[in-house]
Amino acid sequence: MIDAILMVFTIGVLTRIADMTADEGLNLNRYARYMVGVAYGFLTAHVIASYPVLAPIGLAVMLSVLLAGKIDSRIHLMGLGSFLFFTAVYGLGPVDLTLMLIFIAGAALDETGNSLSDTGKLRGPAGRFFRYRLTLEVITFLVGAFTGMWLFFLAILSYDTGFTYVFPERVRKKLISLSG
């Protein structure tokens, strides 16, 4: 399972690079941008196919960002297209729909709260909570506490560590200025 956690970490890093390119002005050449999207889509499909227990959270996150309108650039369209293509190639096993619905609700709340926090409409402790998208951490922790299925919690922590801490804001700003 350590390989699944490391792949989820890598998905987080690649998703951050995609966001930096799409939203923050990181200047990568066209092919590099597309490869980042293809890579995170492929890895997400691979993790879901190789570790079906993670399918509910992987599918929930992909669905929630799609429904929230966060697939708003070519790099993210490449990620989504790659995910759909490789999911079709690998196939999708049985998915725990109850857990998936719980995770969709949490991921949707994270996306909505994060947008409100980013625009300044949500401030204070709640704004900070949603700025870092902590709803899924809380939900996956509770699922682990009630069911003993801690892999969801470890996976979301791994993803968020890759997404949030590999490129902190000051590093992102420096990379973006260098990519000029």
**How far is the CA of 41 from the CAs of 45, 56, 122, 139, 150, in angstroms?**
6, 16, 31, 24, 24
Is the predicted pLDDT of residue 37 greater than 90, yes or no? yes
Is the predicted pLDDT of residue 161 greater than 90, yes or no? yes
Is the predicted pLDDT of residue 16 greater than 90, yes or no? yes
Is the predicted pLDDT of residue 180 greater than 80, yes or no? no
pLDDT of residue 78: 96
Q: What percent of the chain has pLDDT over 70?
A: 100
Q: Could you please report the per-residue DSSP string of 4-41?
A: HHHHHHHHHHHHHHHHHHHHS-----HHHHHHHHHHHH
The backbone region for 24, taken as left when phi is positive above 0, alpha when psi lies in -120 to 50, beta otherwise, is alpha
pLDDT of residue 70: 83
pLDDT of residue 114: 85
The band of 68, judged by pLDDT with boundaries at 50, 70 and 90, is: confident
- The per-residue pLDDT for range 70-107, each reduced to its tens digit, is 888 999 999 999 999 999 999 998 999 999 999 999 99
In one letter, which amino acid is 6?
L
Sign of CA dihedral 26, 28, 34, 36: negative
**How many whole angstroms separate alpha carbon 27 and alpha carbon 177?**
9
- The per-residue pLDDT for range 117-152, each reduced to its tens digit, is 888 898 898 888 888 888 999 999 999 999 999 999
pLDDT of residue 156: 95
Mean pLDDT, residues 111-119: 87
pLDDT of residue 118: 85
The mean of the pLDDT values for the chain is 93
3-class SS at 73? coil
Find where tokens 């709640």 sit. Answer: 126
